Amino acid sequence: MSKQAEFAVILKMNPMFADLGADELQRIAGLCHTQQLGVGEVLFQKGDPGDALFGVRRGQIRIETGASDGSRLTLNFMGPGDLFGEVAVLDGQNRTADATAGEPSELFVLRREDFLAFLEREPQGRDQADQAAVPAHPLA
């Protein structure tokens, strides 16, 4: 299976994309690129612009935040097949938590500007995204 087809499968499993047809999913998946992260490498930090959506191809991403005592609080672990950053890719708001690789990881990355351009061209995609803009992982 190609990387594009893998990303289309991950997208299909997410409520925001579940009702899109195979053609639309393939077109969205075709907009993505991959990114490699080493153990402990930071993907984004709280306050960074919400400029992309991520799908985990392999590895693990830890979503965490700072606690009031200065320690780190893990909010979630994202593994293969998980998608995060859905809301940020729509609203562009700043990240509300940090994302760090817990192990060597490969991610699918869909940039916000590419996704918004797709929605401008594909009204059905815009309608589906608007209806499903309830985050599965709101803290990413």
Domains of the chain: residue spans and CATH: 3-131 (2.60.120.10)
Residue 123 clears pLDDT 80, i.e. is over it: no
What's the whole-number mean pLDDT along residues 114-119? Answer: 91
Q: Which residue has the higher pLDDT, 48 or 140?
A: 48
Across the chain, mean pLDDT equals 87
The β-bridge partners of 106 are: 36, 58
Query: Which residues, other chains included, contact 62 with Cβ-Cβ below 8 Å and sequence gap of 6+?
Result: 74, 76, 77, 78, 99, 100, 101, 102
What's the whole-number mean pLDDT along residues 16-23? Answer: 90
Give residue-wise pLDDT tens across range 66-93.
Answer: 888 989 899 999 999 999 998 888 898 9
pLDDT value, residue 108:
96
| Phi, psi at 115, each rounded to 5° | -65, -45
pLDDT value, residue 70:
87
pLDDT value, residue 50:
94
